[in-house]
């Protein structure tokens, strides 16, 4: 080998080493900036994730409606704004109604406590319907609740609890309201720039993970769609059906209890808590037989939804076993809060697909 060739080889090695150092420096700088970026917006990350979940859930409908939009190629700000506003109204209208009902009920309770503080609490008529322990309960009621003087300390504690609870609820509503505002703002920009973001994400995924990265992302998106259908829509269906049942049975506040049932139906097994509450209210307001019918019908409806409809909607397209769906939902809620209702199953679906791909590759290598 000549000296010229040696010089070329050394020069090439130096160039490769130089570019390798540059690449390492870029990676380190990227990681540092990424850490600082996440640290900077850490309090807003839940809002960004919620915005992403809303966008994934609504994207198919958004694309269909946008194609029928008369100004499809013009005013690209107007349609995303209108669609985002419609999504926001779906959440804001019932929540506003619940808050108004809560404030009114709180005022009614405060007025009732003030009245009771002067007159005491007479034995209610529903106590006659209790089949067991009626005499003992009447004796306790007469001893502790009918005399205004005995009630003074008890009512004072209740009033203090109501004030503290209302203050806590108010601060939570304010915090969640800010979070919701940034989630909806994120949703607007995702709608507006969604096509561009999808193309960029596909390019980045293929560069980093190859074709399998795109498949994993698609699996997670399908799972989010399934979770929305299986948890949110089924929960809303439970709320509508059982709310109608509450109204027919004469249960007080059927609309409010129907909304609570819908919210409870979005989380596994939480519907049963609302059903027990509704059954007790029906018993106090009506009869034991009607309360029993309401309880049994509600349990049958929720049981059918939880064991037949939800598994099909959530795990059907992804072929994810219902056990992993259930563990993903419950573990996700425990770890991430209500956000985990969507993150948990999506993570489990991604892991399930990675496991299947890994096992498939092992079989290929073995053969």
Q: What confidence tens digit (pLDDT) does each residue in 273-323 have?
A: 889 989 888 887 777 888 899 999 999 999 888 877 877 777 666 677 778
CA atoms in the 13 A half-sphere facing the CB of 259: 13
Cα–Cα distance measured from residue 297 to residue 66, given in angstroms and rounded to the nearest whole number? 41
Q: What is the pLDDT of residue 13?
A: 59
**Average predicted confidence (pLDDT) for the chain:** 81
Mean local confidence (pLDDT), 114-140: 73
Cα–Cα distance measured from residue 316 to residue 305, given in angstroms and rounded to the nearest whole number? 15
Q: What is the pLDDT of residue 215?
A: 81
Task: Give the CA distances from residue 362 to residues 15, 95, 319, in Å, rounded to whole numbers and listed in that order.
Answer: 39, 51, 21
367 pLDDT band, cuts 50/70/90, is very low
pLDDT at position 12 over 80: no
pLDDT at position 96 over 70: yes
pTM of the predicted model as reported, rounded to 2 decimal places: 0.73
DSSP string, 259-314: HHHHHHHTSTTTHHHHHHHHHHHHHHHS-HHHHHHHHHHHHHHHHHIIIIIHHHHH
DSSP string, 171-227: HHHHHHHHHHHHHHHHHHHHHHTHHHHHHHHHHHHHHHHTHHHHHHHHHHHHHHHHH
Mean local confidence (pLDDT), 48-54: 90
pLDDT in tens, 327-366: 888 888 888 888 888 888 888 888 888 888 888 755 444 4
């Amino acid at each position: 080998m000549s000296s010229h060739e040696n010089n070329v080889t050394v020069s090439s090695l130096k160039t490769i080493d130089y570019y390798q150092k540059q690449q390492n420096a870029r990676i380190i700088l990227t990681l540092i900036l990424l850490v600082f970026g996440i640290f900077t917006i850490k309090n807003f990350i839940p809002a960004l994730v919620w915005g992403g979940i809303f966008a994934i859930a609504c994207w198919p409908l958004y694309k269909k409606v946008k194609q029928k939009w008369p100004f499809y190629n013009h005013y690209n700000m107007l349609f995303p704004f209108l669609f985002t506003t419609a999504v926001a109204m779906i959440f804001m209208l019932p929540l506003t109604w619940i808050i108004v009902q809560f404030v009114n009920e709180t005022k009614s309770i405060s007025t009732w406590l003030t009245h009771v503080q002067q007159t005491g609490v007479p034995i209610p008529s529903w106590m006659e319907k209790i089949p067991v322990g009626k005499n003992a309960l009447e004796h306790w009621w007469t001893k502790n609740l009918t005399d205004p003087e005995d009630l003074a300390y008890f009512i004072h504690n209740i009033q203090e609890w109501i004030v503290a609870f209302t203050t806590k609820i108010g601060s939570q509503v304010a915090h969640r309201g800010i979070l919701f505002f940034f989630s909806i703002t994120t949703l607007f920009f995702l709608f507006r720039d969604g096509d561009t973001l999808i193309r960029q994400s596909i390019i980045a995924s293929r560069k980093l993970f190859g074709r399998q990265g795109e498949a994993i992302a698609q699996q997670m998106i399908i799972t989010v769609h399934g979770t929305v259908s299986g948890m949110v829509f089924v929960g809303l269906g439970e709320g509508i059906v059982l709310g109608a049942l509450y109204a027919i049975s004469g249960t007080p506040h059927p609309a409010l209890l129907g909304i609570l049932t819908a919210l409870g139906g979005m989380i596994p097994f939480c519907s049963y808590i609302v059903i027990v509450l509704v059954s007790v209210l029906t018993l106090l307001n009506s009869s034991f037989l009607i309360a029993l019918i309401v309880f049994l019908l509600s349990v049958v409806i929720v049981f059918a939804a939880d064991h037949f409809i939800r598994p099909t909607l959530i795990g059907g397209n992804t072929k994810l076993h219902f056990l992993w769906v259930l563990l993903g939902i419950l573990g996700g809620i425990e770890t991430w809060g209500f956000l985990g209702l969507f993150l948990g199953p999506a993570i489990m679906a991604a892991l399930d697909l990675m496991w299947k791909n890994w096992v498939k590759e092992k079989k290929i290598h073995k053969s």
